[in-house]
Structure 1
């Protein structure tokens, strides 16, 4: 008995279709969650916007919260990639800047990025409320801790900041920037909050800079 041969490329097309379906659901969810918020967005709204069925939604996600998690992770990843591109361009334009200067400027860029309304609502405000505060720690762990630790290590090696234990310093700085971003997102006057928070953050970071000893002067 001759076995039926698989159509060439059929498996690849099926995988691409599944990926396209998932992408359409995430894109629709991202738009609606940002505009209306989690509670005011129903699954029927999402599938209608994506032009798909509820069956397609539940094939890829267990429930609305599972879809929201994917949307939040995508928003956080896109923000991380944007910041990396910004800092890479700055490094190319200003090769004379050391790692510590780049990090301080990078923190300010992140605070600027927190003014993005979609990122604010999905990641900073709705995310902890829907999924719990631990989800923020998980996102920072994925997109921030390793890079931050690397830059701090380089800054210490260059002699820009005091030599301290990198891991606790990384966690403390990540918590600091996290609270700063939440403060901006929840403020009624975000422009003023951004300016004042940026000043306070940079002043705190200045305390880490290596000071010359009397013998070095």
Structure 2
């Protein structure tokens, strides 16, 4: 039942947005009762948080999978970049993770979730890059925050029609600049 609620809610949150999705629609789409919804989730916001968390974990898994066999720390970051761009191209993910997620769940909750998922991968990759180039990791958190923001901005630009290759090359230049 929980999985059916999450799947139905995801579809509706993507199609209509969080604000315009009502819980009766979710339970009807999931084929469950309203009582079942409230047995598994405190409210619509808690259900939305579960949807967003599932999407964030899926993105993180795609990044980890893509960068697992990379030859160098730099290659792992670039492979992860491409995987992030691919993962966020999945229908609805930008809306859930970059638009509605931060406004509904607030920044603190989204930052915690990101810190446990894709941002954790990014931080590990940057740490490995610094270690491979013998650079101190004293600004690791700040660099991770800034590069993460660059990834999100790139995804939004690509979704709006910008050339993905331009953004891949720009991210590569940023990564290379970290170790010069």
TM-score scaled to structure 1, two decimals? 0.72
Superimposed CA distance per residue, residues 6-55 of structure 1 (whole angstroms, 9 cap, x where no aligned partner): xxxxxxxxxxxxxxx21211111112112222222211111111111111
Cα distance change on mapping 1:131 and 1:150 into 2, 3 Å: closer
Aligned partner of 2:16 in structure 1 is: 36
Aligned partner of 1:152 in structure 2 is: 126
Cα distance change on mapping 1:126 and 1:149 into 2, 3 Å: closer
Question: What 5-or-longer segments of structure 2 have no aligned partner?
Answer: none
Larger radius of gyration: 1
TM-score scaled to structure 2, two decimals? 0.85
Aligned partner of 2:136 in structure 1 is: 163
Question: How big is the shift at 1:75?
Answer: 0.8
8 A contact 2:8–2:26 mirrored in 1: yes
Report the count of equivalent residues. 179
Question: How big is the shift at 1:174?
Answer: 2.4
CA distance in 1, matches of 2:147, 2:95: 23
8 A contact 2:123–2:141 mirrored in 1: yes
Question: What 5-or-longer segments of structure 1 have no aligned partner?
Answer: 1-20, 211-217
Aligned partner of 2:65 in structure 1 is: 85
CA distance in 1, matches of 2:87, 2:166: 15
Task: Flag as ranges the 4+ runs of structure 1 deviating above 4 A.
Answer: none
SS in 2 for 1:207: helix
8 A contact 2:18–2:100 mirrored in 1: yes
Cα distance change on mapping 1:127 and 1:149 into 2, 3 Å: closer
| Higher fraction of helix | 2
Superimposed CA distance per residue, residues 97-131 of structure 1 (whole angstroms, 9 cap, x where no aligned partner): 21122112312321232222221121122212322
